[in-house]
Amino acid sequence: MAELIPTIIAKYNYWIYITLMMIGLYAMIAKNNLVKKIVGMNIFQTAIILYYVSIGVKKGATIPISTGGHGAVHEAVHAADYLNPLPHVLMLTAIVVGVATLGVALALCLRIYSRYNTLEEDEILAQIRKK
């Protein structure tokens, strides 16, 4: 138990990301309302973004913008001083993909609502079965 606590604290970002991801996954599988599923889907996606951003963190480093500004072309830049920018770039893409998926999903929900007049999955399936 004594050695477990440092492990938990040292990686708590990773544990939180797993928790969030599982919350989202559970909502996507088990929730009945279509919009709730979409909320779950977004939580699922942001959890992965949290994971990636956690990779980029480096002790004793600052944000990935050169402090010298435009004039400092010839100054030496030390890699250890700055955070890892690569995960940030990847996650910009992931956020944008997330909002694109959200837009499409909501458009589909609107179509479904205009046809069945409900957003509950079981009620929609009951209506389909009745025919």
- For the CB of residue 3, give the shortest distance to another protein in the complex, in Å: 12
Which stretch of DSSP H or E encloses residue 54?
Answer: helix 34-56
Residues 6+ apart with CB under 8 A from 4: none
- For the CB of residue 64, give the shortest distance to another protein in the complex, in Å: 4
- For the CB of residue 97, give the shortest distance to another protein in the complex, in Å: 5
Amino acid at residue number 22 = M
For the chain, the C-alpha Rg in angstroms (whole number) is 22
Q: Among residues 5 and 93, whose Cβ is nearest to another protein? A: 93
